[in-house]
Amino acid sequence: MEYTEEEYLMISGIQHFKFCRRQWALIHVEQQWAENVHTVVGELMHKRAHDPYFDEKRKDTLVVRALPVASRQLGASGECDIVEFHKCDDGITLCGHRGTYSVYPVEYKKGKPKKTDEDKLQLVAQAMCLEEMFSTNIQEGAIFYGETRKRERVEFSDALRKEVKDMFQEMHEYYKRNYTPKVKQSKACNACSLKDICLPRLEQTLSVKDYIKQMLEEGTE
């Protein structure tokens, strides 16, 4: 199945979907958004990666920033923070440049590597778009984390590729149905920028102690 451009979803949405399907729906289906320190720092990281200089040459490497990408197979579009084209013997040709090149996407993130795979899935989705656009195969890429100031190598395994495909299919189904799933509150909710929109304010909920006190007071009236 192929999607039309009007049906494309944001590639970056896959990290929201992996973290919490309700968060993704609130942002991408209901169009709600709220900033917190995590989103602000993340945006600053991306602004640094998306330098106004579109490309630069470093020896045998061509560095392209803010490269628009899309996939009809996934029904997704977005931007790669950085794509490095490394000169090699067996690769793709680039207009205006001699030789052939391999493709190496790099995603910029704040903080440090996560235990979960949402960052990896976003990078894999970008790679799958690049593969479709350039008719090539990309084996790996990297994620640069602002806190550690290091790149983490990511291998694009069959398992990660399948998860990306399955998740985008599910995202498209939710989007077509205009569906926002329910969620159980967890510790992860504390770091969510949509916490106050998604869940009732905790201070509005009476504790057991306050509830009993209120009932006793009402009983004496």
Tell me the two tokens of residue 44.
Answer: 């600053």
What's the pLDDT tens digit per position in 34-78?
544 444 445 555 555 555 445 677 789 999 999 999 999 999 999
Say how far apart CA 109 and CA 86 lie, in whole Å: 22
Q: Which amino acid, residue 192? A: C
pLDDT of residue 10: 94
Report the CATH number that the domain containing residue 68 is assigned in CATH: 3.90.320
Q: How confident is the model at residue 217 (pLDDT cuts 50, 70, 90)?
A: low
**Cα distance between residue 70 and residue 1, in whole Å:** 15
- The answer to whether the pTM exceeds 0.85 is no
Amino acid sitting at position 41: V
| The pLDDT of residue 27 is above 80 | yes
- What does the alpha-carbon distance between residue 185 and residue 187 come to, in Å, rounded to a whole number? 7
- Number of structural domains, the chain? 1
Confidence of residue 155 (pLDDT cuts 50, 70, 90): very high
Most confident option among 107-111, 127-131, 207-211? 127-131
Q: Please tell me the number of Cα atoms within 13 Å of 189 on its side-chain side.
A: 14
Mean pLDDT, residues 203-215: 48
Other Cβ atoms less than 10 A from the Cβ of 100: the count is 15
Residues 6+ apart with CB under 8 A from 52: none
**pLDDT grade for 165, boundaries at 50, 70 and 90:** very high
Domain span including residue 33: 5-219
